[in-house]
Chains A and B, each alone.
Chain A
Amino acid sequence: MRETAGERWARRVVLTLLTLFVVTPLYVMVTSAAKPLRDVQSGFTWWPSRPTLQAFVDMWSTVPLASYLVNSLVVSTVAALFSVTIAVFAAFAVSRYRFRGRGLFTMTVLSTQMFPGILFLLPLFLIYVNLGNATGVQLYASRTGLIITYLTFSLPFSIWMLVGYFDSIPRGLDEAAQVDGAGPLRTLFQVILPAAVPGIVAVTVYAFMTAWGEVLFASVMTNEGSRTLAVGLQGYSTQFNVYWNQIMAASLVVSVPVVAGFLALQRYFVAGLTAGAVK
């Protein structure tokens, strides 16, 4: 099937416009990070006339960026690992067993995706505070509280995507393992998990990204000691000055790792979504 000339031109126009739309902010982020403060504060220029990497040095001292970075890293990594582990067991149950309440579980978990975060932000905030006062277990303003909260955010989608992945693994493999005397968990670890590695990696990255980018709960549930990047970057706008070049530099630094990770694994995302959408 040949592409007509009209189709080819339409394709070029669509792609050019979309590329401009997507690239413009990214371009501004990169070039502004390479400008001195005076230049970003005095009218926009397309090209840094006096390129400097000073912003990448100064950004660490204007706000405690290193501390925010460590908090975000710890919270996102631990939340992602727990989320995926829990999702693997849940998805295994949903994919390989027919049990009473299976439909109810799937429905409930997926519908939590639709709750407005603001709805359980208030009660959860008060529960964490009161739990801390009553038992001494500090979940409010602690990394642990954030970890527990964030891992539930990525859980529903992780379970859904892993169920799709597990369903695409032929059951004949399970049955062969069972004939060899493997129990359900050995089947999971030795048959299903190795075949689902791409899906598991994709889900881990998704869970990490979810925690890394969360703003609402971070703005209420953290204090100076547990503050994450999502809230911390706002510290560059003070009453007296807005350090746009440092904001852009810091945004760039915190974006590059997640963007690189996601792009490297995007085809597993597509595969996971395809598997999930088939059902």
Chain B
Amino acid sequence: MATTTAAPDVTGPGRPRRPGRPGRANRGRRTGRPLLPYLLLAPAIVLELAIHVVPMVVGVWMSLLGLTQFSIRDWSTAPFVGLDNYRVTLDVDSASGAALLSSFWVTVRYTLLSVGLSWVLGTAAAVVLQRPFRGRAVLRALFLTPYALPVYAAVITWSFLLQRDTGLVNHVLVDQLGILDDRPFWLIGNNSFVALLVVSVWKSWPFAFLCIMAGLQNIPGEMYEAAAIDGAGFWRRFQYVTLPSLRPVNLVLLLVLFLWTFNDFNTPYVLFGGSAPEQADLVSIHIYRSSFQTWDFGSGSAMSVALLLFLLLVSAGYLLVTNRRRDHA
């Protein structure tokens, strides 16, 4: 932590600053102190290295070792097994490989649905709140509340709503509306995927709303006026003014939501109490369980590294495709 105080020392009173040359060329580039930016960045770099980069490298190394609960105290006793962990965990013919593959597809479906629904709800809310009316500020605050709520508090509350015998959901569906005759279980079996999805959308759509609301503020009102004068109705204005203007926001938003949702651990962990049913067994939970409950750290690391490679590929592909389309447009 001492690194945070290092930055102020470097300027030292003994080194008066050269007055900057006026002129456009000098804007934003102060020469003469080539070290200063690096010193300012040092604390951030050191921490990112220590907490993210080094553990990641260690993780890759671990994935090449035959680590078990016996060798975890002293890694030198763990044999180097090369790609064996990958071969075993990614072998879809074996039981564990098949379980991982099923978990992967559950996660893909979960991510696509959750991100899509969150984006639709966020856009709808931002668009209908674009025009001022009484109560707008209250609704905006209300819609942002799920985002501000601590994840565990929100998810625990949902798990209460979804209890079979004492929850609100079954009370409404069975007792009040009579849509269903039997009280279904929501937190085990096939319904658990739906439950997970609803909870996930509930707490991620406000973030989409927040970002799109910020994006809408950059659209000048005259653009809508001009479109309206040209006779454009609501959908055409949305299609030709709103959506294109939101493009830069949406590009970042969709990627961020995708990564957060694909890596989601908190929602299933709190909703199902640590062990998700297989219909809602997201990859993060899957890896967590095989690492900390069966203490098979080697294959846990192999799965994590495979997950990272997959996310890197998807993100790189996404950025390539979206950049190319921008260049051609």
Say whether A and B bind each other: yes
A residues in contact (CB < 8 Å) with B: 1, 3-4, 6-7, 10-11, 14-15, 18-19, 21-26, 28-29, 32, 40-44, 82, 85-87, 89-90, 92-94, 96-99, 102, 105, 108-109, 112-124, 126-127, 148-149, 151-152, 155-156, 159, 171, 175, 178-179, 181-185, 209, 212-213, 215-216, 219-220, 229-230, 233-234, 237, 244, 247-248, 251-252, 254-255, 258-259, 261-263, 266, 269-271, 273-274, 277-278
A interface secondary structure, majority: helix
Q: How far is the CA of A35 from the CA of B311 in the complex (A)?
A: 45
B152 within 8 A of A: yes
Q: In the complex where A44-B171, A89-B40 touch, is A123 in contact with B128 (Cβ < 8 A)? A: no
Q: How far is the CA of A149 from the CA of B50 in the complex (A)?
A: 9
Q: Which residues of A contact B301 (CB under 8 A)?
A: 122-123
CB pair A87–B305 under 8 Å, yes or no, is no
CB pair B143–A18 under 8 Å, yes or no, is yes
CB pair B44–A87 under 8 Å, yes or no, is yes
Q: How far is the CA of A1 from the CA of B139 in the complex (A)?
A: 23
Q: Which residues of A contact B168 (CB under 8 A)?
A: 24, 28, 44
* B 77-115 to A, binary, CB cutoff 8 A, 1 in contact else 0: 000000000000000000000000000000000000000
B160 within 8 A of A: yes
Q: Which residues of B contact A269 (CB under 8 A)?
A: 210
Q: Which residues of A contact B150 (CB under 8 A)?
A: 209, 212-213, 229-230, 254-255, 258
Q: Closest CB-CB distance, B131 to chain A, in whole Å?
A: 7
Q: How far is the CA of A237 from the CA of B272 in the complex (A)?
A: 12
B interface secondary structure, majority: helix
27 residue pairs from A and B, CB less than 8 Å apart? A14-B128, A22-B143, A22-B202, A23-B142, A43-B165, A86-B4, A89-B43, A90-B41, A102-B37, A105-B41, A116-B262, A116-B308, A118-B263, A119-B304, A120-B59, A123-B54, A126-B297, A149-B51, A179-B19, A183-B17, A184-B17, A215-B265, A216-B269, A270-B213, A270-B214, A273-B214, A277-B214
Q: Which residues of A contact B22 (CB under 8 A)?
A: 175
Which residues in chain B, 130-169, are within 8 Å of chain A measured between CB atoms? 131, 139-154, 156-158, 160-161, 165-168
Q: How far is the CA of A252 from the CA of B153 in the complex (A)?
A: 8
Q: Which residues of A contact B124 (CB under 8 A)?
A: 14, 18
Q: Which single member of A109, A120, A247 contacts B44 (CB below 8 Å)? A: A109
CB pair B308–A119 under 8 Å, yes or no, is yes
Residue of A nearest to B140 (CB): A266
Q: Which residues of A contact B20 (CB under 8 A)?
A: 175, 178-179
Q: Using C-beta atoms within 8 Å of the partner chain, give the interface range for chain B.
A: 35 or more
Residue of B nearest to A152 (CB): B51
Residue of B nearest to A42 (CB): B166
Q: Which residues of B contact A234 (CB under 8 A)?
A: 270, 273
B184 within 8 A of A: no
Residue of B nearest to A2 (CB): B228
Q: Which single member of B1, B213, B215, B273 contacts A82 (CB below 8 Å)? A: B1
Q: Closest CB-CB distance, A168 to chain B, in whole Å?
A: 13
